[in-house]
Amino acid sequence: MKFTRISVVFTDTKLILFTQLINAAIALVFTLTLAKYGLARDFGFCVITILALSVLLDVVDFGACSKYSRELAGKRISKKQYFAVMNRKSLALCMCMPVIVFILLYSNQSISSAVLFSLYPIFWARQNYIQQYLVTKGLMHPSLQLQLADRLCWFCAIPFVLLNLGYNHTYVIPILLGLVLHNIWGTLALRCDDVSWDEVFTVRSSRVSDTRHFGVLSLMSDLANMDIAVVARYADSAGAGTYTLSQRFRTPITMVFQSIVTQLKPITAARESSQIRQLFRSEFPLLLSG
């Protein structure tokens, strides 16, 4: 009887919210550790670099992940077609690596940190496709486990600080470790859903779909973070770093709504109106509290 009550109380939406709270707490420890470790200028540079790479990622992907995950949820494309898009986008980001490395070297960064930063958009894009697939297929528990394992890797920053590792390496290596783990473990999770190796690593697909609306929306979301770049332009990297640290505290406000949206996406893609109403009825108290 007790187990029944637990399963009722901890719905998928509440589990998503709980995981987001843990991830936010880990991110806060990571941010404060890095903010105290180096100069505000160094912190600001790393944040702005990650922001710029995220914009590059959205330009290259241009809404394909959002578009094709909805197509997959609506059973309008196959799993092989979905992962073919993921692999083509990954190859496109690989081709951007030399340009990223050159720009970072021009900014007086070391070759090792330049290469590490250039790997970020590739692994981030793949983990995004894996996450969208798991959510679309209703595999919420593996999805949340991957997110938590990814974020736990950020604690590696603490020993790096104690070892007095270079600032850029201390910032980017824990993030990359989490993304690499996410990709490896996520690929194995896909295998548990009867996804073959041929489907996971294929690049051949005749499926071509218009993603411009999703691409424009993703670029518009990037504009919400451009305030950091504006501060860096008219102040300096130190000012941008200080400003970014304060802006990190606004994220928890949206967590309740993000957890519900995560549940809502595959349902709306499948156009199941009855399930949409059921979700809002069951999660209304949580939505109201948010």
CA 175 to CA 54: how far, in whole Å?
13
Q: What residues have CB less than 8 Å from 225, skipping those under 6 apart?
A: 51, 54
DSSP code for 76: S
Q: What is the DSSP string of 164-197?
A: T--HHHHHHHHHHHHHHHHHHHHHHHHHHTT--H
Is residue 99 scored above 60 in pLDDT?
A: yes
Share of the chain above pLDDT 90, in %: 7
Q: Is 256 left (phi over 0), alpha (psi -120 to 50) or beta?
A: alpha
pLDDT band at 165 (very low <50, low <70, confident <90, very high): confident
Tell me what pLDDT residue 156 has: 87
| 51 neighbors 203 (Cβ within 8 angstroms) | no
Q: CA Rg, the chain, in Å?
A: 20
CA 176 to CA 127: how far, in whole Å?
11
pLDDT band at 75 (very low <50, low <70, confident <90, very high): confident
pLDDT band at 176 (very low <50, low <70, confident <90, very high): very high
Tell me what pLDDT residue 79 has: 82
Which two structure tokens, joined as six digits, stand for 9?
Answer: 């109380």
Would you tell me how many other CB atoms lie within 10 Å of the CB of residue 260? 18
Q: What residues have CB less than 8 Å from 137, skipping those under 6 apart?
A: 193
DSSP code for 137: T
Tell me what pLDDT residue 30 has: 84
Sequence letter at residue 163: L
Would you tell me how many other CB atoms lie within 10 Å of the CB of residue 201? 12
CA 70 to CA 72: how far, in whole Å?
5
Tell me what pLDDT residue 232 has: 58
The predicted-structure confidence for 230-261, as pLDDT tens digits, reads as follows: 665 666 555 555 566 556 556 666 666 766 66
- State if pTM tops 0.75: no
pLDDT band at 265 (very low <50, low <70, confident <90, very high): low
Would you tell me how many other CB atoms lie within 10 Å of the CB of residue 233? 11
Share of the chain above pLDDT 70, in %: 67
The angle subtended at Cα 177 by Cα 174 and Cα 181, nearest 5°, is: 145
Which two structure tokens, joined as six digits, stand for 170?
Answer: 């201390």
Tell me what pLDDT residue 120 has: 92
CA 90 to CA 76: how far, in whole Å?
23
